[in-house]
Structures are given as C-alpha cells and as structure tokens.
Copies of this chain bind each other. A is one copy, B any other.
C-alpha cells in the first residue's frame, strides 16, 4: 500500500523540529514517507515530486522550511493535493520570515499553514484531512481529543496541588 502523507523538509537540519509530525503520523497508524527536498537547491526534484505525488498515491503533503520558506508554495504550485506548510524558526527573525513566506500565498495557490515549529499540528491536520473520507482516522482524532481533556482533568486533580505545595 502506498503512503498517504509525504513529509518533505527543506534541509536535514530541520529534522528534529519536524520529528513530532512523523511520530504523530506513526501514532495514528498513517503511512508516511519522509524526504529532503529543497525548493532552491533541488527545484527539479521538487517539481517532479509534486507533479507525480497524486498518482503515486499521496493524499496530503506536509512541507517544512525556514527563512524565505518557499517549499510549501512551490509544491502547491505543482499539485492539487492539499499542502500543509510548516514554518521553521531559524536563527534570525524569530520565525516571522518563515511564517509570512509560507502563509501569504497569492490567490490561486493556497498553503494550509500551521504554527511556527508546529510539527505535531501539521500531522494532526493531515489526519483531519484524511479523516474526511476515512472513519477510522476520524475515530482516532475523536479519541485524541478525549485524551487531551482527560489529561487536563488529571492535572487539575493532582498536579496543580503538587505544584502549589512545592512552590508556596
């Protein structure tokens, strides 16, 4: 069976920041492929990948890049698959350059942008998109929401009390 989600990053230096997306997809049991493709250093590779992504069976693309982050928009220009843009914070500008380069796409070519360094959310959004036509993934998402609530209830029962006791 082919992978459903392609996780593309502009550089292997982004790997640790992107890793939570990969782990989350694995948790959901969603097939994924990870590739390093730079819009600027390997434009042909980016074009080929994006043009053939749909027929290779990919359903959603996650594209992570920093600075003048063109990767997500570049891929979106060459496919009609939904492309999720994950702006990576680099060493200057606090991530603002990556965010604006990813989200401010001109009319005609959207990129579904998530928060700066928001790798986990990129994976959850991919899951939500797949869940539109996949009830099993939809159920995984419903369960995840319940667990998030349960974690908060549990913290209110115990952790807050402990934190206060240790701090005051």
Contacts and interface: CB of A to CB of B under 8 A. Distances in A.
Interface of A: 10-12, 15, 19-20, 22-23, 26, 34-45, 47, 54, 59-60, 66-68, 70, 73-74, 76-78, 80-82, 84, 89, 91-97, 99-118, 120-122, 124-125, 128-133, 138, 141-142, 144-145, 148-149, 151-153, 155-156, 159-160, 163-164, 167-168
Contact of A60 (B70, B81, B132, B141): B132
B38 A152 contact: yes
Contact of A159 (B36, B89, B138): B36
A92 B112 contact: no
B128 A164 contact: no
A15 B87 CA distance: 27
Contacts of A118: 104-105, 107, 110
